[in-house]
Amino acid sequence: MPAAAARATGVMPPGGGAGGAVVLVGGGVVNLVTALGLVRAGYRVSVYDGAPDPRAGAAWTEYGCTRGGGDGRMFTLTEADGYHDRALGPDGLPNGLLERTVADHGWLVATGDLAPRERQWAADFQRVPPWLASGWTADIFAFNQAAGALWRELTVTDPDLFGPATGYRDGILRLYSEPAYFRRHIARNEQVGAVRRVLTPHQIAADHPALAAACAAGEIAGGLEVTGFTVNIHRFLASLVTLLERSGVEFHWGRRVGALRRDAAGSIVGVEVGGDLVRAAHYVISPGAYGADLLAGTAAAGEIQGMLGVWLTVPNTEPALRHSVKVARAGHRAEETNITLGTGAAGEPVLICGSGYGWTGLDPGNVDPAQLAELYAALEDTVARLFPAGHAAAVASGTLAASRRFCVRPWTASCLGVFERVPTADGGVLVVTGGHNTGGFAQAPVVAQAVCDALAGRRHAMHTRYDPARLRRCYDLRAHNFDPPDLSAPGLSAPDFRAPG
């Protein structure tokens, strides 16, 4: 690798050069894109995950969020935006969004009494003021823009990840059911440079015949063609794992990491796998919503909790949809729905539809079946209104019910991601990443960039803007430790995902 590229990707960590061993815990898309950046920076990378190999075709319930949910992921410049405004009523006071069930137009799907840490998380989420949320959303969107440039670089360096085999589709059509909401989002998307075209319902019907019936029925108030893309994430993941294996990454599927192992002084000396101690120069922990026990003793402990989303698949009947779609229905239980173009088991065109917010608290398995059913019903309502023919065909064949899946996404009360750095006993770094709410896939390349910088001892804006203590510091009035948006934070350096040589 040229020297300039080596410097850009951080192949010279403190205390050593390229080739240091890094253990990654978690085999979701964020950590696997991180693995790609690390192995191409010269590190020796091993990945541990308690689930089966994602190429094995095991039952979807055996997997985490990336492989267990529906086969679609989306990148736009406004992914993972803050959700705090939805927790406020017309009077500007918290509306109890996380205290009300889905049936009562809330987000709660957890059953039983909430633990104190869960109640605190809900209170933190619901009390973030609009002015603070706006600054944090600007941070998120800045990382989205940086990630967009990195995704474009990857399409050049690794075109096989973005071809027909992974269902790559360029361009997103955003649809809005309510005129005022549509007008607000024109401005929001124009602000980040995402808008390609603004469309009236008549133009949508003409340019996208699959939506003509919905436009005629008044279901669509307007639309935007915006910068972005979708992939079939299960196929993308399979291609990425194969690429990583060929690049020398070692995978340990079905090997769950039980805990961080510490010495008598409390310093991290390794990770525990099946009773054995696994040691490396560095560690990257990205467990999604499943790390409550694993993160014990870190600043991120308790900060990442689960937010469930549901999935359905219907045939893409003629006239077929030709662009992946993001639907906004203000005030609906399925307020936002992603519809990704895909192919079924026999190669037939399908629409992979995902939506919903269901807060599980710290336990991603704590799901009330009745509230889960409400989420499925809400998503089905959106699908039936926009694609009545596809919905009817799926109901008639019985494939609609059979396509039901859900995934539990890692969220934070701040809606910011998490990036924590912990020195280890051996002079290395343990990094915790995650909590990207609906934007883990979207921000994966810039997370990889921040990890490479952390292991090399360089600064990156994500290290401070996604610090897990940022929300708590904002409310530590006794210490007057106020943390406004940091406009002077270091810029974003560009990683190099190219293969060595």
DSSP secondary structure, 251-311, as one string: EEET--EEEEEE-TTS-EEEEEETTEEE--SEEEE--TT--TTTTTTSTTTTTEEEEEEEE
pLDDT at position 488 is 41
Overall average pLDDT of the 42-59 stretch: 97
Assign 496 a pLDDT band (cuts: 50, 70, 90).
low
- Residue 19 pLDDT grade (very low, low, confident, very high; cuts 50, 70, 90): low
Region 185-203 average pLDDT: 97
Residue 376, both tokens: 């499925």
Coil, helix or strand at residue 387 = coil
Amino acid at the residue 259: A
pLDDT at residue 482, rounded to an integer: 44
pLDDT at 498: 52
pLDDT, one tens digit per residue, over 142-175 is 999 999 999 999 999 999 999 999 999 999 999 9
Residues 369-405 have pLDDT tens digits of 999 999 999 999 999 999 999 999 999 999 999 999 9
For the chain, give the mean pLDDT.
91
The whole-number pLDDT of residue 491 equals: 43
pLDDT at 289 (0 to 100) = 97
Alpha-carbon distance 112 to 92, whole Å? 29
Report the percentage of the chain scoring pLDDT > 90.
86
Whole-structure pTM value: 0.92
pLDDT band at 483 (very low <50, low <70, confident <90, very high): very low
Residue 82 is predicted with a pLDDT of: 83
* Residue bearing the bigger pLDDT, 90 or 343: 343
* pLDDT at residue number 108: 98
In the predicted structure, residue 366 carries a pLDDT above the cut 50:
yes
* Phi, psi angles (nearest 5°) of residue 275: 90, -10
**Confidence at residue 331, expressed as pLDDT on a 0 to 100 scale:** 87
pLDDT recorded at residue 501: 39
| Mean pLDDT across 222-239 | 98
Tell me the pLDDT band of 7, cut-offs 50, 70 and 90. Answer: very low
The residue count for the chain: 501
Distance, first Cα to last Cα, the chain: 5
pLDDT over 90 (residue 276) = yes
Residue 166, pLDDT score:
97
Q: Is there a contact between 34 and 451 (Cβ–Cβ < 8 Å)? A: yes
Distance CA 135, CA 155 (A): 31
Could you tell me the domains of the chain?
18-89+98-479 (3.50.50.60)
Q: Token pair 């993972």 is at which residue?
A: 80
- Higher per-residue confidence, 218 vs 331: 218
357 three-class SS: strand
Alpha-carbon dihedral angle through residues 367, 369, 372, 376, given to the nearest 10 degrees: 150
3-state SS class at 351: strand
Long-range contacts of 197-205 (CB under 8 A, 24+ apart): 197/224, 197/225, 198/222, 198/223, 198/224, 199/223, 199/224, 199/225, 204/173, 204/175
